[in-house]
Structures are given as structure tokens and as C-alpha cells.
């Protein structure tokens, strides 16, 4: 199965996935990286792994639809089976949702449905809850609302600072995301092969 990873910034999750592929813990091919912020560090990481990275500048398109249409054409050229969001800071619109139904994964740094949105880690920390976590879910038209595939808890201890909590969450993300991507790609692969069998009968 071929995936595209969408990111807007640092790309540590991209790197965790690329490393898992390199070490054969994850059997997908990363066809491309799509990013929407010119200076996103993820492009440097992609270069290191020899993975093509494409920059799409939203402000040069007339609409969300035309922006996503341009991305979709690239995904088709790269024969991408499913999309993995890893710190991509735009919500996914109609064009991509229709082209990839139940085929867009996202990782969010909280135990959804708690603390959705841009600052899941800080919001949990400020709320003084005793545990938060990481969620991997399918993307729908809402913000961090799609069906949850897997979650892992992270405790917030008395001595934790926002920095130490952020570090703990990232460590869990880097462990969890490759595992869930592997499971989900196996599921999609089975669906595809069953469909192919049905067509032959």
C-alpha cells in the first residue's frame, strides 16, 4: 500500500513512520509528503529519506476545492492508496474526503473526544486532568471527530511541566502511529483484494 503523509511543521511523526518503514516494522511505501507551510522542517526530513515532498501554497488557489484538486492530482500520479495526516494544520475538505473515503488517518495529542483542536496537549495540562493521551482516528468533515482507531493513555504527574508532558506524548505518538498505520493498511489491502476477487467471479 502506498501512503502520502501530510504535514505542516516539524515532521517528527513523519520521521517515526519513515524510520519504521526503513526498519521493516511497517510495510507500506511512503509515496510522497505534502506540506502547506513553505519553511516546514518536514521537507528536510523527507530529503533525508529520499522521499519527494510537494509544497502546496493555499493562498495561490482560488478556493479550498481547487487547492485540494491540485493535491489530488499529485496523489493520483503517485498512486496513493491512503493518506496519513501528521501535524497537518488544515481541515480536510470535500474533494479529498470524497476521493479517500475512510482512507485518511489523523493523530491527535489527547484522548478524544476530550481536548480536540489545535492545542490538545496544553489544554489537557491547563485543565489539570490526571491523564491525557494520544488518539489515532479516521478523518471526517469535523475537527478531530472521526471514528477512533486506537488510543493510548499518558499520565500527567505532579512533577510534569508542559514541556515534559509534550515530550511524553510525542514518544507515545511515534510508537503508536506506525502500529496503527500497519494495521489499517492490512485492513484496506484485504478489502481491496476481496473486491478484486468479487470482480473475477
The residues binding ligand GRF (CB under 6 A) are 7, 9-13, 86-87, 107-109, 173
Closest distance of CB 119 from ligand GRF, Å: 10
Q: Phi/psi of residue 125, each to 5°? A: -60, -45
φ/ψ bin of 104: left (φ > 0), alpha (ψ from -120 to 50), beta (otherwise): beta
Instruction: Give the helix, strand, coil percentages of the chain, each rounded to 5.
Output: 45, 20, 35
Closest to ligand GRF by CB, 103 vs 168, is 168
Instruction: Please say if 108 is a catalytic residue.
Output: yes
Closest distance of CB 75 from ligand GRF, Å: 20
Closest to ligand GRF by CB, 31 vs 107, is 107
Angle CA 130–140–146, to nearest 5 = 30
Closest to ligand GRF by CB, 10 vs 151, is 10
Closest distance of CB 180 from ligand GRF, Å: 12
Closest distance of CB 88 from ligand GRF, Å: 7
β-strand 148-155 against 131-138: which pairing, if any?
A: antiparallel
Q: Which of 108, 137, 170, 174 is catalytic?
A: 108
Closest to ligand GRF by CB, 18 vs 28, is 18
Cα-Cα-Cα-Cα torsion 133, 134, 140, 146, nearest 10 degrees, comes to -50
Which residues are annotated as catalytic?
A: 108
Amino acid at each position: 500500500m502506498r501512503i502520502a503523509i501530510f504535514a505542516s511543521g516539524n515532521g517528527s511523526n513523519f520521521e517515526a513512520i519513515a524510520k519504521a518503514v526503513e526498519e521493516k516494522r511497517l510495510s507500506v511505501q511512503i509515496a510522497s509528503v505534502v506540506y502547506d507551510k513553505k519553511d516546514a522542517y518536514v521537507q528536510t526530513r523527507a530529503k533525508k529519506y529520499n522521499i519527494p515532498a510537494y509544497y502546496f501554497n493555499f493562498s495561490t488557489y482560488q478556493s479550498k476545492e481547487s487547492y485540494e484538486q491540485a493535491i489530488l492530482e499529485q496523489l493520483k500520479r503517485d498512486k496513493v492508496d491512503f493518506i496519513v495526516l501528521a501535524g497537518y494544520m488544515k481541515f480536510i475538505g470535500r474533494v479529498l474526503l470524497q476521493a479517500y473515503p475512510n482512507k485518511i488517518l489523523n493523530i491527535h495529542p489527547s484522548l478524544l473526544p476530550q481536548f480536540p483542536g489545535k492545542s490538545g496537549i496544553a489544554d489537557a495540562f491547563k485543565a489539570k486532568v490526571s491523564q491525557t493521551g494520544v488518539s489515532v482516528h479516521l478523518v471526517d468533515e469535523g475537527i478531530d471527530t472521526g471514528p477512533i482507531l486506537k488510543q493510548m493513555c499518558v499520565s500527567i504527574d505532579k512533577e510534569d511541566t508542559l514541556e515534559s508532558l509534550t515530550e511524553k506524548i510525542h514518544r507515545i505518538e511515534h510508537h503508536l502511529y506506525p502500529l496503527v498505520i500497519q494495521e489499517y493498511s492490512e485492513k484496506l489491502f484485504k478489502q481491496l483484494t476481496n473486491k478484486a476477487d468479487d470482480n473475477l467471479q
